[in-house]
Structure formats: structure tokens, C-alpha cells
A and B are shown apart, each in its own frame.
Chain A
Amino acid sequence: EAGVVQSPRYKIIEKKQPVAFWCNPISGHNTLYWYLQNLGQGPELLIRYENEEAVDDSQLPKDRFSAERLKGVDSTLKIQPAELGDSAVYLCASSLGVGDTDTQYFGPGTRLTVL
């Protein structure tokens, strides 16, 4: 079974440029998560989708970050414009969506460097 797929794996951009990350969850997983992971820290939730609906986006900086999950499968996270402080690893995870003891499976992440 394929795991969570993310692309690109690495991205280097200059500040004020836009950037987008793509995630394909495990087949059959209804819940999709985007996390931010700073160096030496644990993942922090940005947004959670149940199918195509964003049910928790309270930690998403909406002035510059946006996300979508069309058709309830793949998802895209966008930053526009990027700032120096956005340099981090962006992780996507998915789960079956069966309850609050749902196991999350993570992708390899996208390492973003903003110059």
C-alpha cells in the first residue's frame, strides 16, 4: 500500500514569492492534515480536512496561507507571499477518519527554504 505522497520534497524561493505544496493521502483516508514542523520541534497543526471540508483551520495564518482539498482526495497548501519565517518542513498526514483515536500516517514532508 502506498503511503502519503508529497511534492516537491524541497523548495527554495525568495521572500515575497508564492509557493505551493501538494499532498496525496493514503487511499480511502477521509481525513487529511497539514502540519508545520520547525527545526527541533514537533509538528503543529495548520489545517484538518474531513473529506473536502476544512473542519479545523484555527492555526492557519489566513492572511498568507490557503489550502484546498478538491473532491476530498488530493490537497494543496499555498503560501503567498512567503516570508523568511516560513522556512520549515510542511508535513501532510492522513487518517481513516473513524474517531478521535484515529491513527495518523505522515508523508515525507516538503522542506521550504525562504531566502
Chain B
Amino acid sequence: DVKVTQSSRYLVKRTGEKVFLECVQDMDHENMFWYRQDPGLGLRLIYFSYDVKMKEKGDIPEGYSVSREKKERFSLILESASTNQTSMYLCASSPRIYPPGEQYFGPGTRLTVT
């Protein structure tokens, strides 16, 4: 059974704190993604990675950075958390195949910044 896991389901942080969200997949997928999901806006891509140490900005990268040191792990970093980063964060992975396949999502981390 394929699995994407995220380090926390719920997280509360204070404004200005540095926040780490961890994602691990056990499917040997090349591609990994970080999204945030907000009501009425759908899933918006923050960053994605198509290989170890490779990363590409998504549609809303401002205020975020990522790290992919190992194939199975993709970390999202909020350098200085702000209240407008309160959201549901979803990690996903997919294999590098053609035609492109579906993405497998983790359970999400609901982050609240106070």
C-alpha cells in the first residue's frame, strides 16, 4: 500500500517562528510536491522537486523554502511564520512516467500561526 506521511496533523506556531514541515514517501517516487489548501482557492502549488537536491518554484513560493536531501523526504520550511500562512499543507508524490500519473497525497498538516 502506497504511503505518504507528514510529520504532524496539527501544528500551532507563533508569528516569526521558523517552521519545518516534513514529508516522507515510501514509493521511490522522483517527484514530490508541497501545496497549501485554503477554502475557495483549491490547492495551490508552493514548490516541487523532480529529483534529489532539485527544486522548482510553484505558484506561491514567497515566504517558503524547501529541502530534498534524500529521495524519500521533502521538507517545507517557513523561514518566519506569518498569520497569512495559516492553512492546510498537503504533500504529494508521483512517479516520473509518461503519460504523467496521478499524485499520491499525505494526510495534511493544519498549521495555525498566532
- A and B bind: no
Binding site for A on B (CB under 8 A): none
